[in-house]
Structure 1
């Protein structure tokens, strides 16, 4: 079993995230560890060489500088981890970057109404992944995106239809949570998965059960249409879907667990890349994510 290592296509990078909770906590922890070690060393040196520590000012300043330097060096976080699974044969990568710069198929979260209006952000926020999909994959052509969604959803029966009075803005047909509309063409399909409910006030909401259902249907669709090609997805559920039940670390582990469990049954794809926005990276403990992936790889070997 191979340990998690940086993705080979990306220069191995470790950096300190000073504005993040994890970065500050790691820095303080490592600095305190260093302080304990330095204090013990100074006391020991004082017993052997009393003249060397007769001037406490320089000794204290040097000790503090050493502790701060140690804390900075040891609290740097990796920006990507990679895990190879031999059974089934696949690779999982969690990395920082721009989702839309990555090759392969793309996963984008939608609501159960598959709303797309972005213009004034009254329905879909133009800063969301779905808003970026419209801007960067469809050049802002909402009609083309709507046409592809309608074609992909043809034959899927809505579970309800809102009235114009109840939902005056956006689309009104509601599809089952977990519905996946497959857009575009290979090798760059878009898997539009409905994992949240669009309220009549145009506010999306979701929960752990809805997300798990959406992920189950997503992996089935990727298996059926993706031809084992590389799949790239964001930290689905961390945006505007109001999924408050999980923090970013727990959300990432839920996604990874769902993918690996489904891959035990039959291969979903050869590579899954979960791309983290730079602003989200400071809230995710990537070393612990690497350890979690390593545990899943060991479990996969036992399962097979």
Structure 2
């Protein structure tokens, strides 16, 4: 993940200033105490000593403030959270796939072909929609249908709706699971709508499913809230990442979910994120 953009953030310069001044203060106290106890131990303060202190202090400030990969390890529970720039489907381990509560799979007229749900079809199932539908239906048999559209609704695509947060697991590849969760509701015009409360409940269901079937393997999830959910206007990516991390940590404190959670950010969205602030947030989730 590029770190150049972090140098434009106020948080970086604030931390750099604090750490640099702290280093200057340390040298000032050290030389003052040494001079008081051993008056002849230090040479007269000159340009060389001032320059040396300045260089060392600036170096220390840079070292402490230099942007690093955004990740945090936790001991209780024993897990990690990484914020990763890249491709969700190229990450190690299992994957969370956000879907609508009708589990529609037809692209592009019903499902946005750029979304995660569509990529599950095109990249994992190689455009074999029948195979994906069979896998979903086999798992959905265990979940009750809460609403069925009628012919008068004239809804294209699938007609059965399931509870928000319904989560099913498909496994088209060996040792890689895809946890498909309904975090938006589809209406008869195939308009998907989501809410913060609905996404929170859906995430809780995902963590339960991952805990039961994921074998503790690393888990990857995309930033949610935009796209079909249509709530990005009050749930931007920065807040979405914090939301996912907070939900994951609450669930993990109850019982371990996975060895690592990767929150995957698309490259076009990274430039709008304050990575230093996100690092500080992840650090704040450690038990006090």
2:201 maps to 1:206: no
2:84 maps to 1:110: no
CA distance, structure 2, for counterparts of residue 252 and residue 179 of structure 1: 21
Instruction: Specify every segment of 5 or more residues in structure 1 that has no aligned partner in the other structure, as ranges.
Output: 1-11, 18-22, 35-72
Aligned position for 2:203: 215
Answer whether contact 1:80 1:96 (CA < 8 A) is retained: no
Answer whether contact 2:71 2:81 (CA < 8 A) is retained: yes
Which of 225, 231, 238 matches 2:213? 225
- Pairwise CA distance, 1:239: 2.2
1:95-127 deviation line (CA, Å, top 9, x unaligned): 101111112101010011000001xx1100111
2:229 maps to 1:241: yes
Which of 169, 182, 193 matches 2:156? 169
Instruction: Specify every segment of 5 or more residues in structure 2 that has no aligned partner in the other structure, as ranges.
Output: 18-61
Answer whether contact 1:158 1:175 (CA < 8 A) is retained: yes
2:256 maps to 1:267: yes
- Pairwise CA distance, 1:152: 1.0
- Pairwise CA distance, 1:78: 5.3
RMSD across aligned positions (CA): 2.4
Answer whether contact 1:187 1:229 (CA < 8 A) is retained: no
Which of 100, 106, 109 matches 2:89? 100
Aligned position for 2:111: 124
Structure 1 residues 292 and 198: alpha-carbon distance in aligned structure 2, compared to 1, 3 A threshold: same
CA distance, structure 2, for counterparts of residue 196 and residue 78 of structure 1: 35
Which of 132, 143, 160 matches 1:156? 143
1:214-234 deviation line (CA, Å, top 9, x unaligned): 001000000000010110110
Aligned position for 1:296: 285
1:186-208 deviation line (CA, Å, top 9, x unaligned): 52100000010012111111010
Return structure 1 stretches of 4+ with deviation > 3 angstroms: 77-80
- Pairwise CA distance, 1:132: 1.2
Answer whether contact 1:233 1:274 (CA < 8 A) is retained: yes
Which of 83, 95, 99 matches 2:72? 83
CA distance, structure 2, for counterparts of residue 206 and residue 155 of structure 1: 24
Aligned position for 1:139: 126
Counterpart of 1:140 in 2: which secondary structure? coil
CA distance, structure 2, for counterparts of residue 94 and residue 210 of structure 1: 23
Structure index of larger Rg: 2
